[in-house]
Amino acid sequence: MWNYSEKVLELFYHPRNQGVIEDQGEPEYAVSRGEVGSIACGDALRLHLKIEIASDKIVDAKFQTFGCTSAIASSSALTEMVKGLTLDEALAITNRDIANYLGGLPEQKMHCSVMGQEALEKAIYNYRGIALPEHEEDEGSLVCTCFGVSGERLRKVIKENRLTTAEQVMSYVKAGGGCGSCLSVIDDILASCHFPAGMTNLQKINKIQTTLESLRPYLQADGGDVELFDVENDRVLVILKGACGSCASSLDTLKGLIEERLRQEVLASLTVEAV
């Protein structure tokens, strides 16, 4: 059972903007579509955008998806986020923005947010008549043929999400999760995307502390709290207090909220344990 945020569940049970946008032939508007995913692996998304030509703004957005809870929620979130934006503003949306709008997604479900961002990019590129940087149909550019993932796409997702392991890459774009023959290339790409030389130990601890401080009001609102106990390399040891310590879903709080947030804000390799 996945630990979904309330926002994910709300948008799953009551999806917004599900459906299609037909081109009504209105001269001041254009309708564009972006499609990603494959029926073979279970997730597919078609995004419809209605664009006001003069202002370059998205005035309506709808989606159709074959997908799980996270795919429906991510698609709903995306359509809500883009309405009223110019195309350039919409292009600046990352998969991480979609996940943040949802109050987070389980890491194994992050590929749904990636699918949303890619469908958006495709719809806008289609409207502008721009070819995508690499055509996934071109076998030569593919790193993972099982899931049709190019090296360009891998590098983008790795950098935007600061991924460090092949396992994370699988969670975000599925690459490597089939026959596995691409795993050594994925490792090479991960190694080539090294992030700027890191923080000092003191900077890392300060950043962890600041991030925990920013989470405390949410935990306190539910009668809980968290305190930093120690940091041993990439192991962050915390004390869960009040309701957080005794609550049956304390592991969800620890991993789904605290660990996930620290990985986003501080370092993707951090793990969090309660003492």
Q: Which is nearer to ligand FES, 85 or 146 (CB)?
A: 146
If we measure between CA atoms, which residue out of 94, 75, 106 comes closest to residue 12? 75
| Shortest distance (Å) from residue 183 CB to ligand FES | 7
| Shortest distance (Å) from residue 170 CB to ligand FES | 9
Q: Which is nearer to ligand FES, 93 or 166 (CB)?
A: 166
3-class DSSP state of 179: coil
Beta-carbon contacts of residue 174 (< 8 Å; ≥ 6 apart): 41, 111, 144, 147, 149
| Binding status of residue 141 toward ligand FES by CB under 6 A | no
Could you tell me the CA-to-CA distances from 220 to 29, 81, 119, 260 in Å, in that order? 48, 29, 38, 18
Using CB under 6 A, which of the segments 47-55, 143-151, 197-205, 249-257 binds ligand FES?
A: 143-151
Read off φ and ψ for residue 157, nearest 5 degrees.
-70, -40
Q: Which is nearer to ligand FES, 5 or 145 (CB)?
A: 145
| Shortest distance (Å) from residue 148 CB to ligand FES | 9
Considering only 34, 67, 116, 176, the residue that binds ligand FES (CB under 6 A) is: 176
Considering only 49, 98, 110, 144, the residue that binds ligand FES (CB under 6 A) is: 144
Considering only 108, 141, 145, 264, the residue that binds ligand FES (CB under 6 A) is: 145
Name the helix (H) or strand (E) containing 115. Answer: helix 110-128
| Shortest distance (Å) from residue 34 CB to ligand FES | 23
Beta-carbon contacts of residue 169 (< 8 Å; ≥ 6 apart): 154, 157, 158, 163, 175, 176, 186, 190
Q: What CA–CA distance (Å, rounded) separates 172 from 20?
A: 26
Considering only 182, 257, 267, 270, the residue that binds ligand FES (CB under 6 A) is: 182
| Binding status of residue 148 toward ligand FES by CB under 6 A | no
Beta-carbon contacts of residue 9 (< 8 Å; ≥ 6 apart): 69, 73
Name the helix (H) or strand (E) containing 99. Answer: helix 95-101
Q: Which is nearer to ligand FES, 71 or 175 (CB)?
A: 175
Query: Annotated active-site positions, please?
Result: 41, 112
Considering only 165, 181, 184, 203, the residue that binds ligand FES (CB under 6 A) is: 181
Using CB under 6 A, which of the segments 68-76, 144-152, 211-219, 233-241 binds ligand FES?
A: 144-152
Contact 104, 110 (CB under 8 A): no
Q: Which is nearer to ligand FES, 76 or 171 (CB)?
A: 171
Task: Compute the radius of gyration of the chain from its Cα atoms.
Answer: 20
Q: What CA–CA distance (Å, rounded) separates 269 from 263?
A: 7
Q: Which is nearer to ligand FES, 193 or 228 (CB)?
A: 193
Site residues, ligand FES (CB under 6 A): 144-146, 175-182
